Amino acid sequence: MRKKLLLLAPLMLFISLLTGCVSTPDFDISQVDRTLTPQSVISEPAISLGKIALWGGTILDTHNLKDSTQIEVLAYPLNSSHKPMQEGQALGRFIIMQKGYLESANYSQGRLLTVLGSISKSQNGKIGESSYTYPVINAQQLHLWPLFDDQSNTSFHFGMGFRL
C-alpha cells in the first residue's frame, strides 16, 4: 500500500500544480450593473455616476500621476471568465483610475485587463486630432491577464502506457 502511495505522490503533485496555474479572477459581481457600457455611460452620465461596472479590454496607454495611475483601455465584451474577447466588436474607450502606483511596464500597451469599479466623472481627451469623451471607472479590483494565457484552447492530455 505504501508503495502505491509513493508512486501516486508525484502524479498528485503534478495535478495540483496544473490546477494552481488557472488564473480566473474572483470578482464580487453582486453589485455590478450589467447594462453599463462605455457608450451608455457617455450618453447618460448622470444616471451612471456611482454605479458598479465590470469592464475589460486592451490597454492602450498607462500614465503614472502624482497619487494614482491612469490606464486608457479599448473595451471589449467579456466572456464567462470575465476575460475580454478581442474577436468581438470594440465597445469604445474608457479610463481606469487606480489609486497608487502601477508599473507601466507591466500595464503596457496591448495587455488585456478586467476592472471592477465605480463609474466616476467623464474626462475629455483626444484620439489623434479628434475630441473624445472617456467614461472613467475608479478601480476597486484589477485583473491583468497573463501574456501567454490561452485558456480558450486549453486541453489536458494524460497518458500512461507500457512499451515492450
Torsion of CA 86, 87, 92, 95, to 10 degrees: -10
pLDDT for the residue 12: 45
The stretch 28-56 carries a mean pLDDT of: 95
Cβ–Cβ under 8 Å, residues 117 and 94: no
85 or 22, higher pLDDT:
85
Give the separation between CA 133 and CA 60, rounded to whole angstroms: 15
Beta bridge partners of 72: 61, 95
Domain membership of residue 84 (yes or no) is yes
Asked whether residue 152 is domain-assigned, the answer is no
Q: Identify whether 60 is part of a domain.
A: yes
Helix or strand or coil: residue 24?
coil
Whether 17 is covered by a domain: the verdict is no
Give the burial string for 61-100 (b: 16+ CB within 10 Å, else e).
ebeeeeebbbbbbbbbbbeeebbbeeeeeebbbbbbbbee
**For the residues 78-84, what does the mean pLDDT come to?**
96
Query: How many domains does the chain divide into?
Result: 1
pLDDT in the model for residue 6:
47
Residue 106: pLDDT over 90: yes
> Three-state SS for 37?
coil
Residue 159 pLDDT grade (very low, low, confident, very high; cuts 50, 70, 90)? low
The mean pLDDT value for 15-31 works out to 67
Distance CA 25, CA 22 (A): 9
Residue 114's domain spans which residues? 31-147
Q: Does the pLDDT of residue 139 top 80, yes or no? A: yes
Q: Give the residue among 99, 102, 101, 100 at the shortest CA–CA distance from 139.
A: 99
Read off the pLDDT of residues 43-76 as tens digits, 9 standing for 90 and up.
Answer: 998 899 999 999 999 999 999 999 999 999 999 9
Classify residue 90: in a domain, yes or no.
yes
pLDDT of residue 148: 77
CATH number (domain holding residue 45): 2.40.50.140
Give the residue among 154, 147, 24 at the shortest CA–CA distance from 83: 24
Q: For residue 45, tell me if it sits in a domain.
A: yes
Measured in degrees and rounded to the nearest 5, phi and psi for residue 16 equal -65, -35
Cell numbers placing 148: 501567454
